[in-house]
Amino acid sequence: MPLRANFIFIILLFFGMALSGLIYLSTNVRSCSQELIEQVFATSVAKPNTLESQRSLKTSPGFQYKQPSLLAGRADVVSLSPWLAPIIWEGTFNPTLIDSIYKQHNITIATTVFALGKYTRFLKDFLESAEEHYFVGFGVHYYLFTDQPEAVPEVKMGKNHRLTVRKVPSLDRWQDISMGRMEILEKLIADELMHEANYIFCLDVDTKFYGRWGSETLGNLVGVIHPWLFDYPRESFTYERRPESKAFIPVGEGDYYYTAAAFGGTLEEIHRLTKTCREQLNADHENSIEAIWHEESHLNKYFLYNKPTKLLSPEYLWRDINISAGQIKIIRFSHVAKNNAEVRPNA
């Protein structure tokens, strides 16, 4: 009897060890498979590195530029946000130096613009002035969304600049045109741009460039301070104040008021922004509410709780109807004067 018991014990011990080995092997195979899947996925979405992801600001030996100063500079404006993000003004950067840093990385900036209905009339000035001032010397791929491809003017593109025209349906309400951009941008980034560009800027078409817009504007998440409200207290900002809206910002909160006419950053960050704004716009629509300034209200809500890593001063989006301001030493980009009632379909 003891011999039989010992025999059974040995058999059970053998099967136990074998089962443990199989479980261990299975677990490690699954783990290795998961690691392999993650590596393959990471490779599939890889694109050219942005400077931000490389965490380096390299210059070439022998490159000459004016010595920076800790004691002299702009004393009439703030050039750093409370969360230590730079605010870009004329006189706060060296264009030659910063171009030399970014040009080493062979980057491409995707740039989207929407021209529907009568807004096609602004395309010629926008594109021609962009080719004179916008990321000169860098790769730029314009994506133009329009309901009238035949109305797109022929504009000579500079070196490494190109234009792609995409047809989109006409819409009866300018509000729908404005709010629909977020969904189109989200899809464009996810489906195409991850392999083709490093950064993206989303710009309004009823605008014109008057001065340099270059590598000083690049960053992970870039907001442009609205020209009408840059010197106003937060209580005067036209945030969405109704709690029923997903764009709601309570009184007493807010940093700056940002324009939706220009924003940008890395593809990952702008995909996250557009996806969030699109989801919140849809939620508002389901609740039969429309934020006071449509997608701009949702953009401001996003920027409040997801701080931009770089802010562009109103030099980068002025308005031709604005009175002058002493802080504005140069107008780089501006909305052109227009009759809204004449160009907007339901104004």
Which residue of the set 132, 296, 315, 342 is catalytic? 296
Residue 282 neighbours by CB under 8 Å, 6+ apart = none
User: Residues 263, 267, 270, 274: is their CA dihedral positive or negative?
Assistant: positive
Dist CA 314 CA 38 (whole Å): 42
Amino acid at 192: E
Given a contact cutoff of 8 angstroms between Cβ atoms, the answer to whether 242 and 248 are in contact is yes
Identify whether 38 is a catalytic site residue: no
Record the tokens describing residue 301, joined without a space.
């809500």
Given a contact cutoff of 8 angstroms between Cβ atoms, the answer to whether 141 and 110 are in contact is yes
What order of strands is seen across the sheet that includes strand 199-203? 87-88, 310-312, 221-225, 258-266, 199-203, 108-115, 139-146, 161-167
Dist CA 271 CA 244 (whole Å): 25
Where is 334: in which H helix or E strand? strand 333-335
Dist CA 297 CA 257 (whole Å): 9
Rounded to an integer, what is the distance from CA 33 to the centroid of its chain?
34
Active-site positions read 296
